Amino acid sequence: MTTQTTPGSVRPEAWNKPLPSIDPDNEAFWEGLRDHELLLWTCNQCGEQYWPKCYCVKHENEPFASNMAWKASSGQGKIFAMNRHHWAFHPGFKEDVPYTYAIVELDEGPLISSTIVGEQPADLMDVGLPVRVVYEDHAAEGFTLPRFELIAQ
Ligand SMILES: [Zn+2]
């Protein structure tokens, strides 16, 4: 099985993993991914960006977070922390191991977790490596996942 993922790639095999939890609070985020945009929840007053959706810690947010909106991020950041999974804790991951799970600190500030595709970090202690988002489309299931790849230095 190939695990090659490039921007806008489609993995044709059937999805056999847990489904993402898409609800009215985050469906705009998932729609953004389908359009190949990584959206962050953004304060219209100060520009602070958040993920997942929350209130701006710097401002009054009433009524109903009306000063907040989803806005596109750069999709770039750096590895904040990572580890390598050698064991599949769900049958759907058995052909993926080993894979690198990472927490990425986006350039805009929020932390987001995903996996590293393509070239793998040689040293798991090498935090701070620059990465960018790639979009893994699962058209049959109707969602797109954000993955990250290393940016050549
Ligand atoms: Zn704010």
Q: E-strand spans in the chain?
A: 9-10, 39-43, 49-50, 68-72, 76-85, 99-106, 111-117, 130-138, 143-150
Distance 125 CA to ligand 1 centre (A): 34
Report d(CA 43, CA 63) in Å as an integer: 13
Residue 97: predicted pLDDT: 94
Q: pLDDT tens per residue, the chain (153 residues)?
A: 334 445 555 555 678 999 999 999 999 999 999 999 999 999 999 999 999 988 899 987 777 788 899 999 999 999 999 999 999 999 999 999 999 999 999 999 999 999 999 999 999 999 999 999 999 999 889 999 999 999 987
Query: How far is residue 60 from each of residues 40, 49, 52, 153, measured CA to CA in Å?
Result: 19, 15, 18, 41
- Residues 6 or more apart whose Cβ sits within 8 Å of residue 25: 53
Residue 7: predicted pLDDT: 53
- Domain range holding 50? 27-150
Q: Phi and psi at residue 31, in whole multiples of 5°?
A: -65, -40
Global pTM reads: 0.88
Residue 14: predicted pLDDT: 78
Question: HSE-up of 90 (CA within 13 Å, CB side)?
Answer: 7
Distance 113 CA to ligand 1 centre (A): 24
Q: Is residue 22 part of a domain?
A: no
Residue 54: predicted pLDDT: 87
Residue 3: predicted pLDDT: 40
Distance 53 CA to ligand 1 centre (A): 13
Whether residue 149 contacts residue 39, with contact meaning beta carbons closer than 8 Å, is answered with no
Residue 77: predicted pLDDT: 98
Residue 123: predicted pLDDT: 93
Could you tell me which residues are beta bridge partners of residue 111? 105
Distance 123 CA to ligand 1 centre (A): 37
Q: Is residue 61 part of a domain?
A: yes
Q: Is residue 12 part of a domain?
A: no
Q: Is residue 53 part of a domain?
A: yes
Distance 65 CA to ligand 1 centre (A): 10
Distance 37 CA to ligand 1 centre (A): 22
Q: Is residue 16 part of a domain?
A: no
Q: Is residue 86 part of a domain?
A: yes
Residue 60: predicted pLDDT: 79
* Total domains present in the chain: 1
Q: Is residue 21 part of a domain?
A: no
Residue 1: predicted pLDDT: 37
Q: Is residue 122 part of a domain?
A: yes
Distance 15 CA to ligand 1 centre (A): 38
Query: How far is residue 44 from each of residues 53, 54, 90, measured CA to CA in Å?
Result: 14, 13, 40
